[in-house]
């Protein structure tokens, strides 16, 4: 057995797990608050403490751990092992030597990978993409991330930036995205985009269960609350998810034209809406794809849940060993 630590560095929480990278089994998993406002040095120290704790609780010796992989939400310099821009963490972490710092603190080989690519790697190796050669993953949450596996390899592209599916242009006249572009998928189908549609419906006085469920407190509206209304048959809520699913389907049709995936996987908190997104997404993808046998492309939910990122990050760390590659 080969044990590695996989970590999700999130804006709110740090999640660490010890993973058997031969089977994908999680031996132990712990989560603590990131407290990003304390600065990157404090966060990295907390991260090392979390790693020590998860090792101790599992009952393993330090030398049983082959290395550490960290899924990071933002732009990275994979060669230097530095973070470049983490928009959801205080200070944005420009040129922070994350790999060198954790390697020194833990005396273990350390590797970093974008968090959405970590999820992609985890789902490909041990989840909904297991056994496939070519697939795409959309991670749906506060933003929309993604990843691609092409011909049996995690596709990294220039600087490890390939797979930013949330920043495909869906409408060149669309609203400005946080990335600086206009009309990205993220502004139409992310968690905040769905939430804004719900808020607008209630603020306009439309007849909808969303208003009842939030007791007319707009601050309580979330994608999960809108999904609850949709599952109860509320037409406004159903329309919101149909619209988000439509835009996801438009993006999926472009993915089909570009890489002809065998499967498209939805992961992340917003994907818990399930068929509310899958059905309109699948319908739109099939209506808009004509240059390949799109009936062979499945759109499914991820199978690894909240552990996908940690599992993928641990696999990534193991693949950095000499003679191995993704």
**Domains 3-120+307-319 and 132-302 alike in fold:** yes
Q: What is the pLDDT of residues 11-21, one digit of tens each?
A: 899 999 999 99
Residue 40 in tokens: 């990157």
* Cα 19 from Cα 30, distance rounded (Å): 12
- Residue 110's DSSP bridge partners are 68
CATH code of domain 132-302: 3.30.420.40
Strand-strand pairing, 3-9 and 65-72 = parallel
The answer to whether the CB of 248 falls within 8 A of the CB of 281 is yes
Q: What is the pLDDT of residues 102-137, one digit of tens each?
A: 999 999 999 999 999 999 999 999 999 999 999 999
What is the model's pLDDT at position 62? 87
DSSP codes joined into one string, 60-90: --GGGEEEEEEEESSEEETTTTEEEE-TTST
Whether the predicted pLDDT of 257 surpasses 70: yes
Phi and psi angles of residue 271, each rounded to the nearest 5 degrees, phi first: -65, -15
pTM exceeds 0.85 for this model: yes
Whether the predicted pLDDT of 322 surpasses 80: no
Which contiguous run of DSSP H or E holds residue 300?
strand 298-301
- Count how many residues are written for the chain: 326
Residue 310 in tokens: 């940690």
Phi and psi angles of residue 28, each rounded to the nearest 5 degrees, phi first: -160, 145
Q: Which of 81, 70, 78, 61 is nearest to 3 (CA)?
A: 61
CA distances from 106 to 15, 44, 122, 313 (A): 17, 11, 24, 17
What is the model's pLDDT at position 326? 58
Buried b (16+ CB within 10 A) or exposed e, 307-325: bbbbbbbbbbbbbbeeeee
User: In percent, how much of the chain has pLDDT > 70?
Assistant: 98
The answer to whether the CB of 35 falls within 8 A of the CB of 96 is no
Q: How confident is the model at residue 1 (pLDDT cuts 50, 70, 90)?
A: low
What is the model's pLDDT at position 160? 85
Whether the predicted pLDDT of 325 surpasses 60: no
* Cα 320 from Cα 326, distance rounded (Å): 8
Give alpha helix (H) positions in 73-185: 98-106, 115-126
Phi and psi angles of residue 29, each rounded to the nearest 5 degrees, phi first: -145, 135
CA distances from 258 to 134, 139, 249, 302 (A): 11, 19, 14, 22
* Cα 33 from Cα 36, distance rounded (Å): 9
Q: What is the pLDDT of residues 30-75, one digit of tens each?
A: 999 999 999 999 999 999 999 999 999 999 988 899 999 999 999 9
Mean of pLDDT over the chain: 95
Whether the predicted pLDDT of 291 surpasses 90: yes
Domain extent listing, the chain: 3-120+307-319, 132-302
Architecture of domain 3-120+307-319: 2-Layer Sandwich (3.30)
What is the model's pLDDT at position 53? 96
Q: What is the pLDDT of residues 185-227, one digit of tens each?
A: 999 999 999 999 999 999 999 999 999 999 999 999 999 999 9
- Residue 26's DSSP bridge partners are 19
11-34-28-78 Cα dihedral, nearest 10 degrees = 60
Q: How confident is the model at residue 323 (pLDDT cuts 50, 70, 90)?
A: low
Q: What is the pLDDT of residues 276-286, one digit of tens each?
A: 999 999 999 99
Residues 6+ apart with CB under 8 A from 138: 144, 145, 146, 165, 166, 248, 251, 264, 265, 266, 267, 268, 271
Q: How confident is the model at residue 158 (pLDDT cuts 50, 70, 90)?
A: confident
The least confident of 114-123, 153-162, 180-189 is: 153-162
């Amino acid at each position: 057995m080969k044990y590695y630590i996989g970590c999700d560095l999130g804006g709110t929480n740090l999640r660490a797990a010890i993973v058997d990278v031969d089977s994908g089994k999680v031996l132990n998993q712990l989560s603590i608050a990131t407290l990003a406002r304390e600065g990157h040095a404090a966060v990295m120290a907390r991260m090392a403490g979390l790693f020590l704790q998860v090792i101790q609780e599992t009952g393993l010796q330090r030398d049983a751990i082959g290395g550490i992989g960290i899924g990071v939400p933002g732009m990275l310099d994979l060669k230097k092992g530095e973070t470049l821009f983490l928009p959801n963490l205080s200070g944005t972490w420009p040129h922070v030597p994350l790999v060198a710092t954790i390697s020194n603190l833990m005396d273990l080989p350390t590797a970093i990978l974008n968090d959405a690519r970590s999820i992609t790697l985890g789902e490909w190796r041990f989840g909904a993409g297991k056994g496939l050669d070519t697939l795409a993953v959309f991670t749906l949450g506060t933003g929309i991330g993604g990843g691609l596996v092409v011909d049996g390899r995690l596709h990294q592209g220039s600087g490890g930036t390939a797979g930013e599916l949330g920043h495909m242009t869906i409408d060149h006249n669309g609203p400005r995205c946080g990335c600086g572009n206009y009309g990205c998928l993220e502004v139409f189908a992310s968690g905040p985009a769905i939430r804004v549609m719900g808020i607008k419906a209630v603020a306009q006085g439309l007849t909808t269960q969303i208003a009842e469920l939030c007791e007319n407190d707009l601050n309580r509206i979330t994608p999960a609350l809108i999904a609850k209304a949709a599952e109860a048959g509320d037409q406004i809520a159903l329309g919101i998810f149909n619209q988000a699913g439509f835009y996801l389907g438009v993006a999926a049709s472009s993915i089909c034209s570009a890489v002809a995936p065998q499967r498209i996987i939805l992961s992340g908190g917003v994907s818990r809406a399930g068929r509310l997104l899958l059905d309109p997404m699948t319908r739109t993808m099939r209506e808009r794809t004509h240059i390949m046998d799109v009936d062979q492309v499945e759109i499914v939910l991820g199978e690894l849940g909240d552990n996908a990122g940690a599992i993928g990050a641990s696999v990534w760390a193991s693949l950095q060993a000499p003679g191995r590659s993704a």
